[in-house]
Amino acid sequence: MIEISGIDHIVLRTTQLEAMLLFYCQVLGCQLERQSRPEVGLTQLSAGNAMIDLVTVDSSLGKAGGQAPALTGRNLDHFCLQIKSVPELAVIEYLQFHGIETGDFALRYGALGQRRTLYISDPDGNRVELVSL
């Protein structure tokens, strides 16, 4: 039913935004795609056909992940998988049939631009976002 075609983006939480930007842009060659207001705390980098989102832990987005990256705080907020085009209701019904809790699809920005996506959790509690191509 669901067929993954690639990774759309990953979201890394950080306390060192400038160092992360130097590393990902100047060392690894990513390009700055978009940057939100500082209080939101989201910086998006183009990484080939995917994106790397950097979220500052003291921002409104970053606080949702708990403490700063350490033994008691998450560094990875979520990752996003691109799936083959399937009607939204069919995806939700399929996931719920398999006992996976879902919310609703919502419009969000990723490597493919504005798309409707859905968040779920894996058995270890990692957040997985699904975006339909």
| Tens digit of pLDDT at every position of the chain (133 positions) | 889 999 999 998 888 899 999 989 998 889 999 998 878 899 999 998 899 999 998 888 888 877 777 767 777 889 999 998 889 999 999 999 999 999 899 999 998 899 999 999 887 677 899 998 8
Alpha-carbon separation of residue 49 from 7, 11, 54, 77, 127 (angstroms): 9, 15, 17, 20, 21
State pTM to two decimals: 0.75
Distance separating alpha carbons of residues 27 and 31, to the nearest angstrom: 11
**Structural domains of the chain sorted by starting position, each given as residue range(s) with its CATH number in brackets:** 4-132 (3.10.180.10)
